[in-house]
Each structure stands twice: as structure tokens, then as C-alpha cells.
Amino acid sequence: MATMQQVAERAGVSIATVSFVVNGSKKVLPHTRERVEAAMRELGYSRNHAGSALARGRTDIIALLYPAFERNLSGTAMTFFTSAADRARERGYTLVLWPAHNEAAEITELTASGLVDGVLLMEVQLEDGRVDRLKEGRTPFALIGRTQDPEGMAWVDVDFASSVETAIEELVALGHTSILYISGATEKRFVAHGGVARARESYLQTMAQSGLTATTLTCGENSAAGRLLAAELVEHHPDATAIILMNEHAAPGLAIGLAQHGVRVPDDLSIISIGTSAHMASMAEPVLTHMDSPAAELGRLGVDAIIERINEPDRPLPQTLIPCTPGEGASVARAPRR
């Protein structure tokens, strides 16, 4: 509650001097600096954010826009938040999570009010209205994920494509030829979600290159849907020997359903879960072999990207692809003999 003015008076210096010591913006004699610091301590001074922001024209705040409509974000969301927040702090920024309903107005309000210096957008869709809005404004932004055509923007994304490719190659090497692809499907979201779309593309392409027949299925993002899917698999896809799973929330239920139908994982059917955490993977029986989502790195690099946009808008755009890392599990085996 104390102002610089009060600190200045108490220390017997001018308000400018106080500013200098608070911000280290100019040299001050050790003697007077001490006096100022003492006064600050005594008065419990703390710099007022609004005043400072107004004068400097920046707030040192970054907004991490997350989609409030999502029922369940990936299990790694928290890891991502935390690593992003830590990184921001390290670099002198404060990161705040900004829930947005995907409304244009919310983004305009956020950026035009000058409340934040930059925006980090997560859960980016192939066509994303939020990105369009962001492009219209002047606030620097960076994407976690990519739109269909992400040229001209800063982004950091998980390399789902290569993960899927790797997974398929692994399965093929184990003799699998009938490999299904299963992704989530909630309110059309997954049709447009960049990562899922690219994973699917990669699946189709890799299968084609391997001369294998591709089959893609969708399944709600919950265990109940996973259980139902198991029945569908048994009935309609009895020949499948492996699954590329892009739907971690359905995984436990799927495994349960399969077991109930007498399908043994991995003896009868192998499963590789893409972009999951070990935590989620272990909720299923058997523990899922998976490709771990690089959530922490994503958060760190995302923050670095937006800060670079803020401070050095003329540098080349940061555009980084991060691979998943292989995770332990017991859901993959050699293809069964037929």
C-alpha cells in the first residue's frame, strides 16, 4: 500500500531515486541505496502493478489461453501448465491461465485491453477462430500446436506424425499387418484438432507406404466409450492384431472391455498409446506401451517462443517440433499366428 513517494520521503530522496533502486535502472550510491532499501522494508513497499504497467507500456504478463469448453484435457495438461509457469517466472514474466470459450470477443477483450504482453494458445485446431482473431490484433502470440497452414506464426508442436510412424514401424517389425487407428471424438473437436489430424494423416500415409490396409475408428473420450469400442472391435474387426491409440481417456475401458471379451492384450492384440503420460498408461491392464507426451518441454519452449516474439519481433519465427519419447509398457507383442 505504500507508494514510491512515501518511500522517497522517508528515505529523504526523490521519487526518481527510489525508482532507480527498485528497477536497478541507474547507478545509485551504496549509501543512498541502503537508505532507500531500509525505507522500503520499513514501509513494506511493493511496486504497484497498474502504475508500472501504465508507465512502461508492458505488463510482463503472459496469458496461456486454454479452452474452457473441454471436458477433459489430456492428463499431461498440468505438467504443461506447471513447466510453462516455471519457465515464465525464470524469465521474469508471470504466466496466467486464461480460460476462454473459444469466443472471438474474449480474445479481443484480452489483447486489446493491454492486460498482457503476449498470448500462448493451446489446443490449436486446424481451423481456429482464435488464431484468426489473434492475427488481427497486435498482441504477440505463439501456438502450442499448429493450424492447417501455420506459416507466418510462431509455434511449438508435438511431432505426432513421427511418433505414429515409429509406432507403426515397430508393430510391422513384430509381424503386425492389420493395424487399426483409434482417436477420440468429442463434439467434432477431434476432426479439427491439429495433432490428431496430423497423427491420422501420418497413419494413413505410413500404412499406404507399407502396403497395408488402413482402418480408422473413433471413440468417445472416456472409459465407458472404450468398453463399448471393445465390443465393436470384436464384432467388426476380429482380424486386427494391433491398435494405434490416440485417445488416452478411453484406454482403461478399452483394455477392460477387451479382457471381458476374451481378447488378451498383448497376446491377441497389441496397443500403442500415443501422446500419453506414464501415469495414464498405468491405469490400464496391462500397462500400456506408449509414446510419452513431451509436456514439460512443450511448456518451456512455448514460453520461450512467446517471449522471443515479444522482445525480438524481427527474429525468425520460432517453429519447433518435439518428438514423443518411448514409454515403458506391456501392451505390445509379436503378432499372433493365424
Partner DNA sequence: TTGTAGGCGTTATCAT
Partner DNA sequence: ATGATAACGCCTACAA
Distance CA 33, CA 254 (A): 66
Minimum CB–partner distance for residue 7 and DNA (Å): 8
**What's the 3-state SS for 177-202?**
CCEEEEEECCCCHHHHEHHHHHHHHH
Q: Which is nearer to a second copy, 70 or 170 (CB)?
A: 70
Q: Does 311 bind DNA (CB under 7 A)?
A: no
282 binds, among DNA, a second copy, none (CB under 5 to 8 A by kind): a second copy
Which lies closer to a second copy via its Cβ, residue 16 or residue 224? Answer: 224
Distance CA 59, CA 101 (A): 24
Span 76-135, contacts to a second copy by CB under 8 A: 77-78, 81-82, 85-86, 95-99, 108-109, 112-115
24, 44, 57, 211: which one contacts DNA (CB under 7 A)? 57
**Residue 217 binds what, of a second copy, DNA, none (CB under 5 to 8 Å, by partner type)?**
none
Q: How far apart are CA 266 and CA 273, in angstroms?
A: 13
41 near DNA, judged by CB under 7 A: no
At its nearest, how many Å lie between DNA and the CB of residue 35? Answer: 9
Helices of type H across the chain: 4-11, 15-23, 30-43, 49-56, 77-90, 104-112, 129-136, 160-173, 189-192, 194-209, 223-236, 251-260, 278-281, 295-311
Question: Coil, strand, or helix at residue 153?
Answer: coil
Residue 283 sits in the site that holds a second copy (CB under 8 A): yes
Interaction between residue 26 and DNA (CB under 7 A): yes
Q: Between residues 231 and 321, which has the closer beta carbon with respect to a second copy?
A: 231
Residue 230's CB is within 10 A of a number of other CB atoms, namely: 23
Q: Residue 94 Cβ, how far from DNA at the closest point, in Å?
A: 15
Residue 19 binding result from a second copy, DNA, none, given CB thresholds of 5 to 8 Å by partner type: DNA
Measured distance CA(29)–CA(266) in Å, rounded: 72
Q: Are 59 and 114 in contact (CB under 8 A)?
A: yes
CB of 55 to a second copy, least distance (A): 9
DSSP state of 46: -
Could you tell me what percentage of the chain is helix, strand and coil, using 3-state DSSP and rounding each to the nearest 5?
45, 20, 35
Among 38, 41, 48, 264, binds DNA (CB under 7 A): 48
Q: Which residue has the cell 518451456?
A: 300
CA–CA distance, 57 with 54 (Å, rounded to integer): 5
- Please give the residue ranges that form the binding site for DNA (CB under 7 A): 3-5, 12-17, 19-20, 22-23, 25-29, 31-33, 45-48, 50-52, 54-57
**In the complex, which residues of this chain contact a second copy (CB under 8 A)?**
1, 44, 46-51, 53-54, 59, 63, 68, 70-73, 77-78, 81-82, 85-86, 95-99, 108-109, 112-115, 138, 222-224, 249, 252-253, 256, 259, 279, 282-285, 287
